[in-house]
Amino acid sequence: MTTTWTAARVLRDRDAGLCLAGVVVSGFGTSALWLASGVWVKDLTGSDGLAALCLLALWAPVLAGPVLGTLADRVRRKPLLIATNLGLAALLLTLFTVRSRDGLWLLYAVLFVYGAAGIVHDAAESAVVAAAVDGSLLGDFNGLRMTATEGMKLVAPLAGAGIYAAYGGPCVAFLDAVTFVLATGLYALLRVHEDGPEPPTAGWRARTVEGARHLWRHERLRPLVLAGGSTMLFAGLNGAMVYAVVDGLGRSPAYAGVLFAVQGTGSVLIGTVSGPALRRLGERRFAACGIALFAAGVAFRAIPSDPVTLVCSAAIGAGLPCVLIAAFTAVQRETPGPLLGRAAATANTLLFGPNAVGLAVGAGLVEPVGHRPVLVVLGLVAPVAVAPLLQSPARASRTASRSPSDANPA
């Protein structure tokens, strides 16, 4: 009942509802494209490695998050959202020229720009949401946003695969372009008061690191971002084991789709209760409970049993988003508006960058070590991510004050 009421409060808020609708619409197109692009490359080249480069092209710009977030603080965020959506829609239409492997360079280039623009878009959107949504509803909004995003991941890839099979890759790109145009219309309807950007008082490099300095110094944000980055590192290691887990169950590789769907269902469910849970538990305890649930799901995933593996996938899906929702909600609440673009983009890099590292390390461990020992050890070690959350605010403040970043913020 409480969950339904808080969700209704968010959706009854005009601007919050428009923001959420924009996330759903553009998220559908993005989720459809990321799967179809890999299949497209696979069909053109027959190479699994070249197909995998599609995800790399999309994810690589996250490493430049602090720099890209600076752009979001130099202009008004709502016009930036609109311009970014329209620019991406136009860019995607160039993929109609990709007909053979000779055009793969363009596909990779578009995906790379798509990923970079997505960082700017998310930073601007975070600032717009913080301005448009009442602070007491931010946890509910971010939970519903997670629900919407994960829900799209359950539906959109199948839709993208179906459109690709029937009409080819360019039509999937066109679908994504249409979703960006629709999202533009939704964002244009927002009634958000924005002050003009403050004139720069320092160079580009100094402005860029201000977001990282704010996260480090803040006694509430620093532990959450550290815990989130550590958890995502472990999540990457776990993700690299998924096909070995499927093989251990005696299933075909396609069964991984079932595990991803169950995991996504767990994320959808936790998103609907995150607002009330954040208010009841607070950000640190909510994040700690999620990390504990994630660790248990990873450890017991080593048991070669279909029912156990399905339950563990749901537990991982429910536990993993908790620390992310807590961290991003805290960043929106605790960061001044003029700095929010840089802080949000830097937090995005610190939270999701370790995931790529974990995937790479896990890929190197899975064959020589085997997935079961890795999962057991990972389940035992993952609770270490809770450690920053146990630090008292006073001690966290003293630690931040000893940071060498004032002398050399880079």
Q: What is the CATH number of the domain that holds 191?
A: 1.20.1250.20
Domain assignment present for 165: yes
In terms of pLDDT, which residue wins out, 168 or 153? 168
Q: What is the structure's pLDDT at 410? A: 31
pLDDT for residue 136:
73
**242 with 364, same domain?**
yes
What the block records as the tokens of 192 is 């958000």
303: pLDDT confidence band, cut at 50, 70 and 90? very high
Asked which of 186-190, 199-203, 242-246 is least confident by mean pLDDT, the reply is 199-203
pLDDT at residue 203, as a whole number? 62
- Statement to judge: residues 266 and 378 lie in one domain: yes
Contact 58, 114 (CB under 8 A): yes
Residue 347 domain boundaries: 211-400
218 and 193 in a common domain: no
Q: pLDDT category, 195, cuts 50, 70, 90?
A: low
Q: Is the pTM of this model over 0.75?
A: no
Q: What percent of the chain has pLDDT over 70?
A: 88
Question: Into how many domains does the chain fold?
Answer: 2
Residue 135 within a domain: yes
Which of 140, 165, 197 is the last residue in one of the domains? 197
- Binning pLDDT at 50, 70 and 90, where does residue 82 land? very high
Confidence at 49, pLDDT banded by 50, 70, 90:
low
- Alpha carbon of residue 293 to chain centroid: 19
Residues 180 and 256 in one domain: no
pLDDT at 93 over 90: yes
Please indicate, yes or no, whether residues 281 and 193 belong to a single structural domain of this protein.
no
Residues 167 and 218 both lie in one domain:
no
Tell whether the model's pLDDT for residue 197 goes beyond 70.
no
Residue 402 has pLDDT above 80, yes or no: no
**pLDDT at residue 1 above 50?**
no
Tell me which of 197, 224, 252 is where a domain ends.
197
Higher pLDDT: 7 or 234? It is 234
| Residue 202: inside a domain | no
Identify the pLDDT of residue 114: 93
- Inform me whether the pLDDT recorded for 392 exceeds 70: no
Q: Are both 220 and 189 inside the same structural domain?
A: no
Average pLDDT, the chain: 82
Q: Identify the pLDDT of residue 5.
A: 54
Evaluate whether residue 238 is within a structural domain. yes
- Do residues 236 and 332 both lie within one domain? yes
- Give the chain's largest Cα–Cα span: 61
pLDDT-derived band at 408 (thresholds 50, 70, 90) equals very low
Q: Is residue 7 part of a domain?
A: no
Q: Which of 151, 173, 197 is the last residue of a domain?
A: 197
**pLDDT reading at 288 higher than 90:** yes
Query: Does any domain span residue 19?
Result: yes
Q: Tokens representing 328?
A: 């991003």
Asked, for residue 282, whether it belongs to a domain, the answer is yes
Q: Judge whether 157 lies within some domain.
A: yes
Chain segment 173-192, per-residue pLDDT in tens:
999 999 999 999 999 998 87
Q: Are residues 247 and 384 in the same domain?
A: yes
Whether residues 140 and 215 fall in one domain = no
Cβ-contact 50, 41 below 8 angstroms: yes
The length of the chain in residues reads: 410
pLDDT in tens, 312-349: 999 999 999 899 999 988 888 888 877 887 888 888 88
Give the model's pLDDT for residue 394. Answer: 55
d(CA 354, CA 367): 21
Whether residues 298 and 275 fall in one domain: yes
The yes-or-no verdict on residue 285 having pLDDT over 60 is yes
On whether both 334 and 241 belong to a single domain, the answer is yes
